[in-house]
Amino acid sequence: MNLFDVYPLQDVTIVRAEGSSVWDDKGCEYLDLYGGHAVISIGHTNPHWVKRIEEQLHKISFYSNSIKIPIQNELAKKLGKVSGKEDYQLFLCNSGAEANENALKLASFYNSRKKVIAFKKSFHGRTSLAVAATDNPNIVAPVNETNNILFLPLNDDFALKGAFNNHLISSVIIEGIQGVGGINEATPEFLRTIRTLCDEHNAVFIADSVQCGYGRTGQFYAHDIAGVNADIYTMAKGMGNGFPVAAISIAPKFTAKHFMLGTTFGGNHLACSAALAVLEVMEEQQLMQNAKSIGAYLISELKNIPGIIAVRGRGLMIGIELPEDKKEVKKNLLTRHSIFTGEAKPNVIRLLPALNIGKTEADKFLSALKAEMLKD
């Protein structure tokens, strides 16, 4: 059997990883500023994370959601505290798409409506409704097509108000900072307008925090910058530091009913121990503060590098837009400087490193990028 060839691959085989370093099968060390797509939050193979998963593995790794699983309550308590939403409720699942799918569904159960507002350049995942709310027709199969989604320009109050006036809206789903779309920030004012309109129209504000959340911007949710609460936060990537786990954090106004949502694997013992280890390390090592300060340092230094069109983002979610004639830079960072970065189309380098990277790693990247930008 061959693999179903859906991923364009870089010619590298990573066999070992520690912190923000990864090594290939020839022993070459790389600096990982991509974090396996924003997944590695506390650093590869973090010792506390390994220990917690290992200890759990020897006790019990899985049982279905038909019994009491106290480690789920422990995780809910910790997540409530670290995210500053102690009165919210937790539903555990397995991936970002599944989190968004459940959030959109819960909103629709709540107000018995169908229309969803999403934004241009959004990415919300590949399951049925999540992909329908994703602004990329290439990945929407005919069976996913629906006229329940309205795509509006980001940060456009006028368009948003118009949509609320003309349709009965169930929910608004928005990334605090668009990741796949090229690191585009929702403004605090726009997030506050969403809050106001959702309140006025009994619609649900869904904060997709799958990529931009979990402390990456220096605040737990990127949307926190607006100083208002969303009704549902969705999260995944950084939550398990590589162990597949995702969740939605649900405001108190939603009442659960048995069988309303569900999953076989979501919230299993191993996933919860990985997620708890991440929050413990984040707290203990003050990783949100680190993300904020190293991110601010990187952004201010990047703005001084000649030839860059724009630097966008906050904390450790940074987009560097390059001119057309510098489109080889991302590849060169990997092949000449052994640095992994991410990308967004058309020509944006995306930095999504672990939240504990230090200044030395930031400086290594900055000098490599400067060297590449100065080359003819």
Ligand X SMILES: Cc1ncc(COP(=O)(O)O)c(C=O)c1O
Give the residue with the Cβ less far from ligand X, 291 or 362: 291
Task: Assess 177 for contact with ligand X (CB under 6 A).
Answer: no
If the CB atoms of residues 124 and 314 are measured against ligand X, the closer one turns out to be 124
Q: Among 208, 224, 343, 372, which residue interacts with ligand X (rule: CB under 6 A)?
A: 208
- Residue 206 lies near ligand X (rule: CB under 6 A): no
The distance of closest approach from Cβ of residue 105 to ligand X in the complex, given in angstroms and rounded to an integer, is 15
How do strand 169-175 and strand 204-208 relate by DSSP bridges? parallel
Question: Which residue, 100 or 356, is less far from ligand X as judged by CB?
Answer: 100
Among residues 43, 125, 267, 353, which is the contact residue for ligand X, using CB under 6 A? 125
Say if residues 46 and 56 touch (Cβ distance below 8 Å).
no
Please work out, in degrees rounded to the nearest 5, the angle formed at the alpha carbon of residue 267 by the alpha carbons of 236 and 215: 30
Is 271 a residue that touches ligand X (CB under 6 A)? no
Say how many residues touch ligand X, by CB under 6 A: 14
Rounded distance between C-alpha atoms, residue 44 and residue 46, angstroms:
6
Q: In this structure, what is the dihedral angle of CA atoms 91, 268, 280, 176, given to the nearest 10 degrees?
A: -40
**Of 210, 282, 349, 352, the one binding ligand X by CB under 6 A:** 210
Does the protein bind ligand X through residue 313 (CB under 6 A)? no
Residue 183 CA to residue 312 CA, distance in Å, equals 6
Strand runs labelled E in 120-263: 149-152, 169-175, 177-178, 184-185, 204-208, 232-235, 246-250
DSSP string, 171-202: EEEEESEETTTTSEEPPHHHHHHHHHHHHHHT
Q: Which of 175, 185, 224, 372 binds ligand X (CB under 6 A)?
A: 175
Which amino acid, 375?
Answer: K
Least spacing, CB of residue 200 vs ligand X, in Å: 26
For residue 93, the cross-strand partners are 246
**How many other CB atoms are there within 10 angstroms of residue 59's CB atom?**
10
Q: Which is nearer to ligand X, 175 or 343 (CB)?
A: 175
Question: Which residue number, 20 or 100, has a Cβ lying nearer to ligand X?
Answer: 100
Q: What are phi and psi of 77, to 5 degrees?
A: -65, -45
> At its nearest, how many Å lie between ligand X and the CB of residue 305?
26
User: Considering the complex, what minimum distance in angstroms separates the CB of residue 40 from ligand X?
Assistant: 14
- Report the Cα–Cα distance between both ends of the chain, in Å, rounded: 45
Residue in the block written with tokens 């106004």 = 253
Q: Give min distance, CB of 336 to ligand X, in A.
A: 27
341 lies in the site for ligand X, by CB under 6 A: no
- Residue among 85, 115, 124, 312 that touches ligand X (CB under 6 A): 124
Window contacting ligand X (CB under 6 A); options: 43-51, 78-86, 122-130, 270-278: 122-130
Token digits of residue 367: 């000098």
Q: Which residue ranges make up the site for ligand X (CB under 6 A)? A: 95-97, 100, 123-125, 175, 179-180, 208, 210-211, 236
